[in-house]
Structure 1
Amino acid sequence: MALDSAPHSLPKTPSGIEGFDDITLGGLPQGRPTLVCGAAGCGKTLFAMTFLVNGAVRFDEPGVFMSFEERAEDLTANVASLGVDVPALVAARKLAIDHVRVERSEIEENGEYDLEGLFVRLGYAIKSVGAKRVVLDTVEALFSGFTDTGILRAELRRLFGWLKDQGVTAVITGERGEGQLTRQGLEEYVSDCVILLDNRVEEQITTRRLRIVKYRGSSHGTNEYPFLIDEQGISVVPITSAGLAHKTSDEPVSSGVPGLDAMLGAGGFYRGSSVLVTGGSGTGKTIFGAQFASATCRRGERCLLFTFEESPSQLIRNVRSVGLDLRPHLDAGLLRIESARPSLFGFEMHLARMVRDVRRFRPTAVVIDPISAFHGPSSEIQAALLRLIDILKEDGITALFTGLTASGPMTDADHMVSSLMDAWISLRCIEETGERNRGLYVLKARGMGHSNQIREYRLTGQGVVLIEPYLGSGGVMTGSARLAEEARERAETMRRQRATEQRRRDFERKRLSTERQVAELRAALDAEAAELERLDEQATSWEQSLEQDRDAMAVIRGAAE
């Protein structure tokens, strides 16, 4: 369920820490003290210093850092690793750092002890820079020499009340106690906001987590949130900030493989969808991801590629073998490749890194190769992937995930992961006639029709090329079996063509012979007809001659009488 981002009446001071202000709906309570507690090494001091530096640099709010453990020069050196120039901020009167030395051997308890001297010193520092933010690190060091719990509790209340009276937004760090949030067990009750940091080790992998224990006067995220500390500072993944209210798009984006686009009813993947490409080893999953990334960059859009099995240089070299040159896209700033071993962090820490990189690079497409590199309970991996998918969908980013699948039936983990995806492309090896070929089919594609055919594909010098499906008597045929069957069919076709041509020639001979016979008969008939006509003419001529003879004899007889 998404957090309610409606405006609240409680004034808040933004921390500037990526992701943290999302889960607190604006930041820390303005003008009130916040307790940041946790065990050693979980990042309390860095969290507090980041809060101060962001206030000075980004929000024009000067701050005071009063340390009871580390000296000013040590703090400066530690923060310098994050690219922060603390001396410059001090010189510009944006930041004041004061180290208060507390030695237990020099402390004497009595009933009249109070923190008046500290208040004077802190008040002077606040006025000297016009501070709006204050950090006290750590409260245990300040009270380390006292055993009288009555005095300690009274002065703690007085310290928190004094900070409120000054109108500053304060962060007080505290060490975690046994069975309670802090050693004294009181700080969390007098604080308006309590943040618990945890550095947890599971299966030799460390994961940092943050939880808001309480926040007076404001709603907030109540889950545990992974957070990351590296050379770029602190990043918090607000795992419940994304829900199911994201917008959808009907615009298709190319997979980079024309044949695969043709198998999808929309002509590609819907923009903002999540796509899973699974297959055994050697099926070309990484190449499909690289083709998708290359197609994205060719459209002039940004793509972020996370690889957990190959270094960037190795990936670039390997995909060059299929005609993909990613170097121009890297040089143009359209492609960014991030690589890390899965064992470097826990999955949630990797998730924090990926979300931070996505928000800073702002790509339109993301490739994660492969998700199967992460090991752990399938339910945890599914939950982390769901967070990532929700965040990507919220920003309208098209995501392509690759995953290694074992031979045999799909496992429950495969079904759990695939159920999160909008489209699922399965790659498989087809072994027959003593050789191994590759086949592809679309298992699902939400919101569009798609082909149900198994298509053979080849990894060529021009990338992934899909071959038109060929159905033999035994089903789909691939590889040399397909070539042999095609050759056999071509030979059979040629045989049939030769037989047809022979029959056509025989028919032609018969036709010509018959026509000759018909011509001869016609000629004989014509000759006979001509003879009959000649005989008719002779008969007519004979009759005429006979008639003339009769007439002549009649004339002769008449004269004689």
Structure 2
Amino acid sequence: MIHDQIKVFPKTSTGISGLDEITNGGFPKNRPVLICGSAGCGKTLFAMQFLVKGILEENEPGVFMSFEETSADLSQNVRSLGFDLEELKKQKKLKVDHVRIERSEIEETGEYDLEALFIRLNYAIDSIGAKRVVLDTVESLFTGMENSVWLRSEIRRLFQWLKDKGVTAIITGERGEGSLTRHGLEEYVSDCVILLDFRIIDQIATRRLRIVKYRGSTHGTNEYPFLIDEDGISVLPVTSLKLDYKSPSELISFNLPAIDNLFAKRGIYKGSSTLITGTAGTAKTILASYFALASCHRKEPVLYFSFEESPEQLIRNLLTIGLDLRSQVNDNLLHIHSSRPSLQGLEMHLLTLHKLMAEFKPKTVIIDPISSLITVGNSSEVRAMLVRLMDMLKVNEVNALFTSLTQNKENFYSDTTVEAVSSLADNWIDLSNVNEQNKWQRNILIIKARGMGHFNGQKKFLIADSGFQLVEK
């Protein structure tokens, strides 16, 4: 469907990870695109990445005309993203032009227009054969001109001129009070308008993107979180997916025969999701680590998200029971990513996972524990995030394991995170501590296993120096 649409409606790659999927192929080719948003939302970086990636990946030279920042400032600001503007300028692939707007230096007389700007922009485009153009931010012209009616007419002419010139252009604009931009630029860009938003919720910053309109093309209509890091801008395209992913019949092991044998088929299905619940000290992380090692032994990479322990602490603690994770890390089979949940919002955690999956290409993903996420979102938000996460993992046939700390020993169904994810998980293992004769006894119970039978009773187990052991009666 996407390929047929591109033939009728030519598009050009955005150069921004995830955005081409949302736009069904990229921006409209040879047409203007409006990027609007409040200060600090990433408009300039968004536009610059579009240019730089176009040069490096599509061999399409670009012109960046700035009405605010100088060429030197722009080069310095984007160097941290790995964009070497000076080198691209030397190669005659990029032209950066700073147009200074000073009200005191502008005199409006008679039939005054933006013809000088047209000539300047035309020269920049022709000098390097540019296919992509950025105007950042053209609204600065309004601060220098008093006759807004005249200026609107000139800007309308500018947008039409860009279209006739045959370039794909990005125009940035500041968010207005009652409109998308302060001066209503969206009225003149009928092809594609994208809104960027930077918001603070419960002291946690989140950036989001929404395609307001995209004439002649289907596109995602939801809000999508995006991240700015050392690799540039990445957009998370996954919001909700159809239930049309594959369901492999192949079995995988926990690396523990005692656990595998609790399932009728002596293991769990490949690509399934497993939830391990339990109160503090019931060995949830230990079972998760066995699962990780089992994947490593199959030479399948593992991505381990730890919200409570640093990689060094996790490795040290597991060595005491004979589980050696360091060698797997050294062999690049295991990647441990540790961070506090409060470091960023739920969507940003999901986006970070999405990026790491694209980079590391794991076959197994472990999140330990998902209950920590409740500190940065309510139950419905956590559930929505986990639905998207599980869908993403299933589409990629990734083995997923989540641990969750439960607080209510008598009724774990009332626990917020268990309520949010238990119905979504394919397998559910509950661990518990019971005081028997003044000693704490650990128990394991398989609550559910979709598509196969399982042992229905509780089994006692202990954690010894040699690791996990079932207690035989």
TM-score, with structure 1 as normaliser: 0.81
- Measured after TM superposition, the shift of residue 416 of structure 1 is 2.7
- Measured after TM superposition, the shift of residue 319 of structure 1 is 1.3
Partner amino acid, structure 2, of 1:416: A
Task: Answer 1 or 2: higher relative contact order, Cα 8 Å, separation at least 6.
Answer: 2
**Residue 298 of structure 2: aligned partner:** 299
Distance 1:116 1:266, change over 3 A: farther
**Residue 533 of structure 1: aligned partner:** none
Partners of 2:95 and 2:260 in 1: CA distance:
60
8 A contact 2:199–2:207 mirrored in 1? yes
2:419 to 415, 422, 425: 415
- Measured after TM superposition, the shift of residue 16 of structure 1 is 2.0
**Residue 7 of structure 1: aligned partner:** 4
Partners of 1:348 and 1:440 in 2: CA distance:
32
Partners of 1:225 and 1:369 in 2: CA distance:
25
1:446 to 446, 450, 454: 450
- Measured after TM superposition, the shift of residue 6 of structure 1 is 5.7
**Residue 384 of structure 2: aligned partner:** 383
SS of 2:178's equivalent in the other structure is coil
- Measured after TM superposition, the shift of residue 145 of structure 1 is 1.5
Partners of 1:377 and 1:12 in 2: CA distance:
39
Distance 1:467 1:111, change over 3 A: farther
Partner amino acid, structure 1, of 2:465: G
Partner amino acid, structure 2, of 1:411: S
**Residue 288 of structure 2: aligned partner:** 289
Partner amino acid, structure 2, of 1:398: N
SS of 2:81's equivalent in the other structure is coil
Partners of 1:173 and 1:257 in 2: CA distance:
57
Partner amino acid, structure 1, of 2:423: S
Q: Which has a greater percent of helix?
A: 1
Alignment of 1:387-466 (within 5 A): 387-407=388-408, 408-409=410-411, 410-411=413-414, 413=416, 414-466=418-470
Partners of 2:231 and 2:91 in 1: CA distance:
23
Corresponding position: 1:126 with 2:129: no
Partners of 2:249 and 2:34 in 1: CA distance:
47
**Residue 252 of structure 1: aligned partner:** 251
- Measured after TM superposition, the shift of residue 233 of structure 1 is 1.4
Structure having the higher Rg:
1
Distance 1:241 1:136, change over 3 A: farther
1:269-301 Cα shifts (integer Å, max 9, x gaps): 211111111111111111111111111111111
Partners of 2:392 and 2:313 in 1: CA distance:
29
- Does 257-266 or 41-50 show the bigger shift? 257-266
**Residue 212 of structure 1: aligned partner:** 211
- Measured after TM superposition, the shift of residue 189 of structure 1 is 4.2
Partner amino acid, structure 1, of 2:455: S
- Measured after TM superposition, the shift of residue 110 of structure 1 is 3.6
1:358-395 Cα shifts (integer Å, max 9, x gaps): 11211111011111111222111101111111111111
**Residue 521 of structure 1: aligned partner:** none
- Measured after TM superposition, the shift of residue 186 of structure 1 is 3.2
Partners of 2:452 and 2:219 in 1: CA distance:
39
Partner amino acid, structure 1, of 2:435: E
Alignment of 1:472-511 (within 5 A): none
Distance 1:236 1:279, change over 3 A: same
**Residue 155 of structure 1: aligned partner:** 154
SS of 1:277's equivalent in the other structure is strand
**Which runs of 5 or more structure 2 residues have no equivalent in the other structure?**
none
SS of 1:144's equivalent in the other structure is helix
- Measured after TM superposition, the shift of residue 212 of structure 1 is 0.3
- Does 252-261 or 236-245 show the bigger shift? 236-245
SS of 1:263's equivalent in the other structure is coil
8 A contact 1:181–1:188 mirrored in 2? no
**Residue 61 of structure 1: aligned partner:** 60
Partners of 2:245 and 2:4 in 1: CA distance:
20
Partners of 1:66 and 1:77 in 2: CA distance:
16
SS of 2:243's equivalent in the other structure is coil
**Residue 313 of structure 1: aligned partner:** 312
SS of 2:200's equivalent in the other structure is strand
Distance 1:458 1:188, change over 3 A: farther
* Structure 1 runs, 4 residues or longer, greater than 4 Å off: none
Partner amino acid, structure 1, of 2:79: A
**Residue 34 of structure 2: aligned partner:** 35
**Residue 105 of structure 1: aligned partner:** 104
8 A contact 1:138–1:173 mirrored in 2? yes
- Does 103-112 or 76-85 show the bigger shift? 103-112
SS of 1:66's equivalent in the other structure is strand
8 A contact 1:278–1:427 mirrored in 2? yes
Distance 1:403 1:6, change over 3 A: farther
1:27-50 Cα shifts (integer Å, max 9, x gaps): 111000000100000111111111
- Does 24-33 or 105-114 show the bigger shift? 105-114
Partner amino acid, structure 1, of 2:302: C
**Residue 234 of structure 1: aligned partner:** 233
- Measured after TM superposition, the shift of residue 171 of structure 1 is 0.7
- Measured after TM superposition, the shift of residue 58 of structure 1 is 1.0
8 A contact 1:21–1:27 mirrored in 2? yes
Alignment of 1:45-60 (within 5 A): 45-60=44-59
Distance 1:233 1:249, change over 3 A: same
Partners of 1:150 and 1:255 in 2: CA distance:
70
8 A contact 1:188–1:194 mirrored in 2? no
SS of 1:211's equivalent in the other structure is strand
SS of 2:241's equivalent in the other structure is coil
Partner amino acid, structure 2, of 1:459: I
Partners of 1:432 and 1:112 in 2: CA distance:
94
Partner amino acid, structure 2, of 1:123: N
- Measured after TM superposition, the shift of residue 466 of structure 1 is 2.2
8 A contact 1:35–1:191 mirrored in 2? no
8 A contact 2:407–2:415 mirrored in 1? no
- Measured after TM superposition, the shift of residue 187 of structure 1 is 2.9
8 A contact 1:109–1:146 mirrored in 2? yes
Partner amino acid, structure 2, of 1:351: L
1:407-431 Cα shifts (integer Å, max 9, x gaps): 2312263223111111111111111
- Does 304-313 or 413-422 show the bigger shift? 413-422
Distance 1:5 1:382, change over 3 A: farther
Partners of 2:445 and 2:2 in 1: CA distance:
42
Partners of 2:107 and 2:47 in 1: CA distance:
30
- Measured after TM superposition, the shift of residue 111 of structure 1 is 4.6
SS of 1:97's equivalent in the other structure is strand
Partner amino acid, structure 2, of 1:69: E
TM-score, with structure 2 as normaliser: 0.96
Partner amino acid, structure 2, of 1:78: N
- Does 205-214 or 266-275 show the bigger shift? 266-275
Partners of 2:415 and 2:405 in 1: CA distance:
14
Partners of 1:256 and 1:242 in 2: CA distance:
32
- Measured after TM superposition, the shift of residue 241 of structure 1 is 6.3
